[in-house]
Amino acid sequence: MNDSDIILKVEGLSKAFGNKPVLQDATFTQRRGTLKVLVGPSGGGKSTLLQCINYLIPPDQGRVWLDGRQINPKSRRELSAYRQEVGMIFQDFNLFDHLNALENVRIALLKVKGMAKAAATERAMAELARVGLAGKADLYPAQLSGGQKQRVSIARALAMDPKVLLLDEPTSALDPELIGEVLTVIKDLAQAGITMIMATHQISFSASLADEFLFMEKGRIVEHGSPAELLGKDCCSRTQAFCAKLSELAGDAGQ
Amino acid sequence: MDDTWSFVTEQVIPGLNLGFWATVQLAVPSALLGLFTGIVVGVLRVYGPRPAQRLANGYVSFFRGTPLVVQLFCWYFGLPQICLFIESLGPVMGVLNALHLAWVPRLLVLSPMGAAILGFSLCSGAYHSEYVRGGLMSIRTGQIKAAQALGMSPMQTVLHVVLPQAVRRALPGCGNEIVYLIKYSSLASVVTVNELTGMARGIAKSTWRNTEVFFTVGVYYLLLVTLATFILGWVEDRLSLPGFERRRE
């Protein structure tokens, strides 16, 4: 593996709330253009790991490198520059409620990147078109469905040209019939070579796209490997057991 | 009845019209300054650094915890005494004279109008800040995280994400405070401003016809408040967005 191929490196990230450790010694590297999938039970530390990576939750310990440069979270300027390069998709979308779809995508281009209005508008419209929402640019979050909101939030993140996209259970808050449209967009992104780390319970979907699975439990990464390794029929991994239980509950045994 | 009518139109209304302008000149700047103060103080109380939060909380408890009349007395009668006290301090005045700043203590002597506007703005700001604080706290932390994740600074997050929403949520409460301000502007008469109530009291005292005078002044306040309600409703409509609608029954 060539070193310049590594876009993101995370070493020893740990976080405790009070006395309770929620993330312990998370370490991994990620190559350009790959998709890593975080699976595991709720409360296992998936969301904390993602939010520690871009310091939305400041980790107690650990270091992060993006494109070979170590991040210094103490410098506000550096942290802002780093966050611009790491997109984040949240479970409950977190669109800005007072801005319409176009303005949601455009605001960081204007205020953070300092782009001119015409150029920012053009870029924002292009990103909305990419997620299939060019016709909804004027609508406010209150007028969009959950799936549409999540696609706007993906457009908002993509407009910043991120080097890595973090997705925190992007379909968990959606009605079942709306999950498909968001998964289609994520699949397009994976095929376009966007580097992503995604926490999800959509096992069969992500198994077909992921380069690597990380299984997290009690704040630790307990297993990692390719989907084929971890989910193979004869494999007796924790990941396998967990995923089998998920699909049993979902009632699609033949995944 | 005819006598009442001519008394009202010939003696009460001309006097009250003068007072009406004084009330408008008091209430409009006080409402705007109070709202501005309230927004700044509200933001400091929620997002400010610890010392600024303490200071802002102290300001609110002081101005909500003392009667407005007492505050007005302090600004109008108290400050000039502090001015006299400073001017009696030889060494201090020596320094100020040398710096050609001997006029500075005189700034503490306020006109009746100035004292009233200062008092109303500061008092109103304390109440506004409470509505603004409620509005700020109603914004889900998820949106703040999303703004940070896009690289926005805390200042940008407050200005572009939190405040535009918080102000919309706080508007009905702030409108309430402005309506209330119009009525407590009547207290300016205690520091000799001849606004509506002051004029009314003067006319009533000299004519001994309390009923006509005070009923009429009540109508003036009702008109002012109706006008303010209309303007506030228009502002709410202008700021209304899907998800932030002004709900009508």
Is it the case that residue A20 has pLDDT exceeding 70?
yes
pLDDT digits (tens, 9 = 90+) for A95-151: 999 999 999 999 999 999 999 999 999 999 999 999 999 999 999 999 999 999 999
Q: How does pLDDT run across B205-228, given as a tens digit for each residue?
A: 888 888 888 998 999 999 999 999
Distance CA A154, CA A89 (A): 6
Residues B241, A140: C-beta atoms closer than 8 Å: yes
Sort out which chain B residues have CB atoms less than 8 A from A112's CB and list them: 150-152, 156
Residue B85 scores a pLDDT above 90: no
Residue B104: partners with Cβ closer than 8 Å, 6 or more residues away? B96
pLDDT of res. B90: 81
Q: Would you say residue A154 has pLDDT above 90?
A: yes
Query: What pLDDT band is residue A255 in, cutting at 50, 70 and 90?
Result: very low
Whether chain B has a CB inside 8 Å of the CB on A156: the answer is yes
> CA-to-CA distance for A190 and B53, rounded, in angstroms?
46
Give the whole-number percent of chain B exceeding pLDDT 70: 98
The Cα–Cα gap between A143 and B238 comes to: 19
Chain B residues whose beta carbon lies within 8 Å of the beta carbon of residue A156: 150
pLDDT of residue A34: 93
Rounded average pLDDT over A32-54: 91
Instruction: Spell out the domains of chain A, with CATH numbers in brackets.
Output: 1-85+170-255 (3.40.50.300), 95-161 (no CATH)
Shortest Cα–Cα distance, A81 to chain B (Å): 7
Q: How confident is the model at residue B89, as a pLDDT?
A: 82
- Is residue A234's pLDDT more than 70? no
Write down the pLDDT at residue B247.
61
Q: Does A86 touch chain B (CB under 8 A)?
A: yes
Cβ distance of A95 and B146 shorter than 8 Å: yes
Q: Which residue in B150, B156, B159, B167 has the most chain A C-beta atoms within 10 A of its own C-beta, making it the best mutation to test that interface?
A: B150
Calculate ∠ Cα A135-A141-A144, nearest 5°: 55
CB-CB under 8 Å, B151 with A112: yes
Mean pLDDT for A173-192 is: 90
Give the model confidence (pLDDT) of B122-137 as tens digits: 999 999 999 999 999 9
Amino acid code (one letter) for A204: S
Mean pLDDT within B155-168: 93
CB atoms within 10 A of CB B216: 19
Burial label for A92, CB within 10 Å (0-12, 13-18, 19+), is middle
Q: Which residues of A touch B148 (CB under 8 A)?
A: 56, 83
Q: How confident is the model at residue B249 (pLDDT cuts 50, 70, 90)?
A: very low
Is there a contact between B168 and A98 if contact means CB atoms under 8 Å apart? yes
The closest CB to that of B152, out of A94, A95, A108, belongs to A108
Which range, of B40-49, B65-74, B84-93, averages the lowest pLDDT? B84-93
| Higher-scoring residue by pLDDT: A251, B181 | B181
In this prediction, residues A232-255 reach a mean pLDDT of 68
Could you tell me how many CB contacts below 8 A there are between chain A and chain B? 73
Which residue's entry shows tokens 């994520």?
A186
Residue B247 CA: distances (Å) to CA of A107, A112, B232: 28, 34, 14
Q: Residue A233: pLDDT band by 50, 70, 90 thresholds? A: low
Other C-beta atoms closer than 10 Å to the C-beta of B178 total 24
B82 Cβ partners below 8 Å, 6+ apart? B105, B108
Q: In CATH, what is the architecture of B28-194? A: Orthogonal Bundle (1.10)
Q: Is the CB of A92 less than 8 angstroms away from the CB of B142?
A: yes
Cα-Cα-Cα-Cα torsion B161, B164, B167, B168, nearest 10 degrees, comes to: -110
How much is the mean pLDDT over chain A? Answer: 89
pLDDT digits (tens, 9 = 90+) for B96-108: 888 887 777 788 8
B106-134 burial, b at 16+ Cβ within 10 Å, e below that, comes to: eebebebbebbbbbbbbbbbbbbbbbbbe
Distances (CA, A) of A205 to A185, A190, B37, B128: 12, 12, 53, 51
pLDDT value of residue A251? 59
How does pLDDT run across B170-187, given as a tens digit for each residue?
999 999 999 999 999 999
Predicted pLDDT at B120:
95
| Chain A residues touching B149 at Cβ < 8 A | 54, 56, 83, 86-88
- Mean pLDDT for B190-211 is 88
pLDDT at A57: 93
Q: Residue A254: pLDDT above 50?
A: no
Q: Over 90: is that where the pLDDT of A177 sits?
A: no
Cα–Cα distance measured from residue A59 to residue A51, given in angstroms and rounded to the nearest whole number: 9
Token representation of residue A132: 């299939």
Residues of chain A found within 8 Å of residue B163, distances taken between Cβ atoms: none
Chain B's closest residue to A95, CA to CA, is: B143
